[in-house]
Amino acid sequence: MSSVLLLTRLELQQAIGGARGAIEKRAGANGAMAGTALIAAALLAGLGWLGYMAYGMVGHLGLAKALYNILFIACGSLTFAFSLPSILGTFFGSSDTSDLLPLPVSPFAIVFSKALGALVTAYMWTFIFIVAPLAGWGIAGTLAGGLSLRYWVVYVLAAIFTPMMPVAYAGTISMVIAALFKRVRRKDAITTIATVLTLALSIGGFFVVNQTNSNSNFMQMLGGIGDSVGSVVMAFPAYGFAVYAFIHPDPLGSWLFVLLSVAAFAVFVLVARVVYMRIVTSLSSGGGAGAAYTGAQAQEQAPVFKALLRTEVRKVVRNSSIFLYYVVYPLVICPVLFGVMVMTDSMREIFRKLGSIEDATTMLAGYVLCMLMAFTVLSASSNKLATTAVSREGSNWIHMKFVPVPLSDQILAKVLPGFMVNVLITLVFLVGGGIVVVTRMGLDALVIASGLVLMLGGSWLMVCVGAWCESRNPNVEWGNDADVNPKVLKSTGGEMRSLLVGLVYAALPLLASPLLKLDPRVFMPVLAVAGVVAAVVLGRMLLSATVHNIEAFE
Amino acid sequence: MIELTHVSKTYAGKDKKAVDDLTWTVEDGKITGFFGPNGAGKSTTLKMICGVNSIDEGSIKINGHDITSDVIEAKRQFAYVPDDPDRFLRLTGAEYLTFMADVYGTPAEKRAPFIEEYGHRFEIFDALNSRISDYSHGMRQKVHVMGALIHEPSVWILDEPMLGLDPKGAYELKEMMREHAARGNSVLFSTHVLETADKLCDSVCIIAHGHKLFEGTLDELKAAHPATSLEQIFLEMTAHE
């Protein structure tokens, strides 16, 4: 057991070590801890407050179960989806297993510690969707006399066991698929296949979970022990019992939630133990040779910037884990997940009740537009091409310093691919979603178009903020571009800051509307132009600062 | 030609200078070896010459262009081959060479003959359509040497260039270095293999703890320490530091 704990600590140090090191360098160890505690406290307070307020509004509408369902669905789905890069990177992306195998530790300890490491890093979503909001909800309910000590017992169990099932799903499916495709020896190929299929399954599972979790007729039909037996068929069966445990006094729900969660995780660990070692020791990073060179490529001379951009795109597209998680995931998966989340019966019920308020349609349309803009920002924040522009070079970063190309051109070539992905994300949400809002809710097309332009400006500024944050302390001390995967690219804080900037842009219409009291068809175009101008000016300043930081970086 | 004038460098957070008041000239028409024990300041010096690290004091000029004030033109003067060949692994050899040629502005008509000649000399021509990640260590080293030299600069800066090369590859590279110096150009290379340096270098610079211990021709060094090998000379000189 001690070797498991040692190796788990190693996994966690590798997972967070880069970001922690960067923060400690600036703020010291005490400062880093204080900062982390402050962020956690702020999240707890903010989300807890939302939960507290929700009890007063949603609880009285009889939607407590719907809220629990939404929170668990959101937590489980996001944990599942975001555990994929963690598990694939931990098990197949990094090469530390070949370093650990010669040591006097059992293969089971290696596998178990990797699984525990993936589990611990998944607790972030549990904190955001379960711990914080249900703390506020519970306080409000306890003060109102509607919730007792039993609620808090279930709350503690939920805080501990919620991430186990989705992590187990992500891990088990990855192992099974990797085993099925074991003839394919390239590491990249296994990562690509496993990722594509697991992401496809996650979308399908998300649909199933939404349909069954929120389908009360389906649960009644199944009968059994109260409502919970109906939940067993859900994709996350444990969550059905968790929701049951929150609502009903029967302790069986709690027991079943804990047992199912632990059992799922145990299955993952056992499958990993059987499959993983067999696969990892037979993987190679290379494949067969290509066709013989004929000299055809040496016929043209491209402009320097085009050469830089082309090489940058090649490096992204040819790295399957980077391409899938930084491009495909925010561009395809996030819109689907958000769309399905919005279309659940629970959410529709909430909108129906809100829509009964007089004159709510226009206001609701505005909120929906801002929601689309917020979803754009949330998806774009998982596109980390800009926040890892230099870090992805690893030990090759010095190439940027000795080639006779201005750093400004090199940085621009590195951030443009990230911006293009953000543009596509913006188009997906605001054109696709905008069509729905225009046709169903009667919002003016000019307002939607202005929102689109505003978000394009916001996307550019997000990219510039991300690049600037990274430039302050790029994480390049990890190896070469053969090892590039989301796991080794430790966060430098750029993602959160660019997310905040994006959310400010998304919230601008909401903030401007009551202040200006003007027709949206008047203030939205003005806001869009102002937002783009601000993005261009501030973006230029940030990129100049980025160049300065990289120039000084040694 | 590379001219270092009173160059000093201290890394942030450190008290001791990594390079201390180094004045040194790498002359044209010669192969210059650059030696020192681990931590002597060799890599720091090479990185300052190439513009990777900043200079705290002094100046560095490459063919008369200051690396600090005339950055782009100075960088066009040299080819730098770092000691780590595990770079640009996701590109094919051909794509990498094309990229380097584009970055340095090598005209299209010069590329094919260069790739043809050096690809065959290094015996990797047929592998240029494969990804660099599929190459062995030595093949990666070779393609990066080619990438650095494709723009035909007058100054070559090579950090441990023979590392990982097979005997034929090492022989070809040494011949290229001799040919390049014979045409009046500069070759600066660092190595820990003193036997190679003994056979190849026209002049040497030995550095330890950031200080220059010796600069001059190999004959001058051996004259000062008769009847001893280069290895023994090096050990004696650096032992006193």
DSSP string over A122-180: HHHHHIIIIIHHHHHHHHHHHHHTS--HHHHHHHHHHHHHTTHHHHHHHHHHHHHHHHH
Residue B102 contacts A where some CB pair is shorter than 8 Å: yes
Kindly indicate the confidence band of residue B174, based on its pLDDT and cuts at 50, 70 and 90: very high
Q: What ipTM was predicted for this assembly?
A: 0.84
Query: Any idea what DSSP says for residue A331?
Result: I
For residues B231 and B161, state if they share a domain.
yes
Final residue of a domain: which of B128, B152, B176? Answer: B152
For residues B147 and B158, state if they share a domain.
no
pLDDT score for A346: 63
On chain A, the residues whose CB falls within 8 A of the CB of B47 are: 398, 554
For residues B28 and B128, state if they share a domain.
no
For residues B59 and B29, state if they share a domain.
yes
Q: Quick check: helix, strand or coil at residue B62?
A: strand
CA distance B216 to chain A (A): 27
- Does residue B184 lie in a domain region? yes
In this structure, how many other beta carbons lie within 10 angstroms of the beta carbon of residue A445? 13
Q: Do A298 and B11 touch (CB under 8 A)?
A: no
For residues B110 and B220, state if they share a domain.
no
pLDDT score for A366: 76
Domain range holding B137? 91-152
CA–CA separation, A404 vs B75, rounded Å?
A: 5
Starting at the edge strand that comes first in sequence, how are the strands of the sheet with B203-208 ordered?
A: B78-81, B155-159, B186-190, B30-35, B203-208, B211-217
For residues B53 and B11, state if they share a domain.
yes
In this structure, how many other beta carbons lie within 10 angstroms of the beta carbon of residue B110? 15
For residues B220 and B182, state if they share a domain.
yes
Looking at every residue in chain B, the average pLDDT score rounds to 90
For residues B59 and B109, state if they share a domain.
no
- Tens digit of each residue's pLDDT (9 = 90 or more) over B71-104: 999 999 999 998 888 888 888 999 999 999 999 9
For residues B137 and B72, state if they share a domain.
no
- Does residue B85 lie in a domain region? no
Q: Quick check: helix, strand or coil at residue B34?
A: strand
- Does residue B83 lie in a domain region? no
Q: Do A293 and B76 touch (CB under 8 A)?
A: no
Average pLDDT over residues B143-169: 92
Q: Do A319 and B11 touch (CB under 8 A)?
A: no
For residues B63 and B115, state if they share a domain.
no
For the whole model, what pTM was predicted? 0.70
End-to-end CA distance of chain A: 41
- Does residue B27 lie in a domain region? yes
End-to-end CA distance of chain B: 29
On chain A, the residues whose CB falls within 8 A of the CB of B75 are: 402-404
- Does residue B110 lie in a domain region? yes
Q: How many beta-carbon pairs below 8 A join chains A and B?
A: 128
Final residue of a domain: which of B131, B152, B173? Answer: B152
Q: What would the DSSP string read from start to end of A428-474? A: IIIIIIHHHHHHHH---HHHHHHHHHHHHHHHHHHHHHHHHHHHHS-
Name the residue among B91, B104, B129 with its Cβ closest to that of A292. B129
For residues B183 and B223, state if they share a domain.
yes
Answer positive or negative: Cα dihedral of A457, A463, A465, A467: negative
Q: Quick check: helix, strand or coil at residue B6?
A: strand
Q: Do B102 and A403 touch (CB under 8 A)?
A: no
- Does residue B86 lie in a domain region? no
For residues B164 and B107, state if they share a domain.
no
Residue A63 corresponds to which amino acid? Answer: L
- Does residue B82 lie in a domain region? no
- Tens digit of each residue's pLDDT (9 = 90 or more) over B6-59: 999 988 777 888 999 999 999 999 999 998 888 889 989 999 999 988 899 999
Return the half-sphere exposure (C-beta side, CA atoms, 13 A cut-off) of residue A292.
Answer: 7
- Sites in chain A below the pLDDT cut of 70: 1, 13-29, 59-62, 85, 92-99, 102, 177-178, 180-234, 279-299, 340-363, 439-440, 480, 482, 487, 490
Residue A367: partners with Cβ closer than 8 Å, 6 or more residues away: A510
- Does residue B175 lie in a domain region? yes
pLDDT score for A223: 35
CA distance B63 to chain A (A): 15
On chain B, the residues whose CB falls within 8 A of the CB of A302 are: 98, 102
CA–CA separation, B29 vs B202, rounded Å?
A: 9
Name the residue among A304, A403, A552 with its Cβ closest to that of B54. A552
Give the Å distances, CA to CA, from B141 to B87, B98, B146, B161: 10, 17, 9, 8
- In this predicted structure, the answer to whether residue B133 has a pLDDT above a threshold of 50 is yes
Final residue of a domain: which of B152, B167, B198? Answer: B152
On chain A, the residues whose CB falls within 8 A of the CB of B95 are: 297, 311, 314
In this structure, how many other beta carbons lie within 10 angstroms of the beta carbon of residue A374? 19
Average pLDDT over residues B189-215: 89
- In this predicted structure, the answer to whether residue B4 has a pLDDT above a threshold of 90 is yes
Residue A211 contacts B where some CB pair is shorter than 8 Å: no
Q: Which of A514, A506, A526 is nearest to A368 (CA)?
A: A506
pLDDT score for A287: 44
Q: How many domains does chain B have?
A: 2
The CATH number that applies at residue B164 is 3.40.50.300
pLDDT score for B164: 85
